[in-house]
Amino acid sequence: MPLAHLPRPQWLTFDCYGTLIQWDEGLQDAVARILAVNPEASRHAPTPAQFLHRYDGHEHRLERERPHRNFADISRESLRLTMQELSLEYRPEYADMLVGGISAMPPFPEVVGTLAVLKQAGFRLCIISNTDDGIIAGNVAQLGGHVDRVITAEQAGAYKPSRQIFAHAYASLGVTPDEVVHICASPHLDHAAARDIGFRCVWIDRGTGRECLPDYRPDATVATLDRVPELFRDAGWL
């Protein structure tokens, strides 16, 4: 349904990595550095994109397993399994390079200014992210102090697209799903949750090649976060 036909939300919730923070760019840089110092990579030579395709598969599978594991451990195990699959030597210091670099990943250029505009317009801002508190703290510190709440998989004991992490977020914020608009760049996680739970969703399609789920369409789609205030003005929310 067009946003103009819906009530103004109290809270805006955001996916973090890929939406606010340069996740693909940061991961590809970390993988390129790992491959550059790996003695086997010169013979097998997967590209960072090929490497990450396999890595993502392991990460999402491990996130669905029980009991819940923290994101740092899942990242380390996903890296080990990916390197094993590609016949590359794994060393613990490679995982340190990968996990240690996540907190330092910067926001997209337009993000801090846009969050400021949305905050000044009276929206409250919350991140809902598949990560650990200790990892995301470094990213949130780069967001200009505009974020009111941060909900992580570590706090909820579950990863998106599970209902559990969103239920935990809504209970923590004291809202129902229809009092929120979620802003995200991740179809296979956030769109799946929006489809199953029914919350409103704006997709930031940054041209990464990710596609919508075949049975779901977001309420609105824009290319970058700084288009969101214009979208909200058109809806009568600003």
Same structural domain for residues 116 and 199? yes
Number of domains in the chain: 2
Same structural domain for residues 137 and 178? yes
Same structural domain for residues 145 and 170? yes
Same structural domain for residues 129 and 56? no
Same structural domain for residues 72 and 15? no
Point out the domain boundary residue: 80, 104, 128: 104
Same structural domain for residues 83 and 187? no
> 163, 16, 136, 2: which is closest to 71 by C-alpha?
136
Same structural domain for residues 151 and 206? yes
Same structural domain for residues 64 and 110? no
Q: Please state whether the peptide bond connecting residue 2 to the residue before it is cis, i.e. omega within 30 degrees of 0.
A: no
Write the CB contacts of 88 (distance below 8 Å, at least 6 apart in sequence): 35, 38, 40, 41, 44
On the 0-12 / 13-18 / 19+ scale of CB atoms within 10 A, 119 is: middle
Q: Which domain holds residue 34?
A: 24-104
User: Do 2 and 219 touch, CB atoms closer than 8 A?
Assistant: yes
Is residue 32 predicted with pLDDT exceeding 90? no
Give the pLDDT of residue 2: 67
Write the CB contacts of 120 (distance below 8 Å, at least 6 apart in sequence): none
User: Do 170 and 198 touch, CB atoms closer than 8 A?
Assistant: no
pLDDT band at 49 (very low <50, low <70, confident <90, very high): confident
Same structural domain for residues 90 and 131? no
Same structural domain for residues 198 and 225? yes
Query: What is the torsional sign of CA 167, 172, 177, 183?
Result: negative
Same structural domain for residues 137 and 227? yes
Q: What is the per-residue burial (b if ≥16 Cβ within 10 Å, else e) of 205-224?
A: bbeeeeeeeeeeebbbebee
Residue type, 125: L
Same structural domain for residues 118 and 193? yes
115: domain CATH number is: 3.40.50.1000
Lowest mean pLDDT among 47-56, 92-101, 103-112, 149-158: 47-56
- What average pLDDT does the chain have? 93
Point out the domain boundary residue: 67, 82, 104: 104
Q: How far is CA 63 from CA 77, 126, 138, 188, 233, in A?
A: 11, 22, 22, 13, 37
Is residue 236 predicted with pLDDT exceeding 70? yes
> 134, 131, 104, 89: which is closest to 29 by C-alpha?
104
Give the span between the Cα atoms of 149 and 168, in whole angstroms. 12
Is residue 163 predicted with pLDDT exceeding 80? yes
* Residue 24: DSSP 8-state: H
User: Do 18 and 111 touch, CB atoms closer than 8 A?
Assistant: no
pLDDT band at 59 (very low <50, low <70, confident <90, very high): very high
Give the pLDDT of residue 6: 80
Is residue 87 predicted with pLDDT exceeding 90? no
99: domain CATH number is: 1.10.150
CA 161 to mean position of chain CA atoms: 11
Give the pLDDT of residue 231: 95
pLDDT band at 42 (very low <50, low <70, confident <90, very high): low
Point out the domain boundary residue: 104, 126, 147: 104
> 131, 38, 152: which is closest to 86 by C-alpha?
38
Give the pLDDT of residue 41: 66
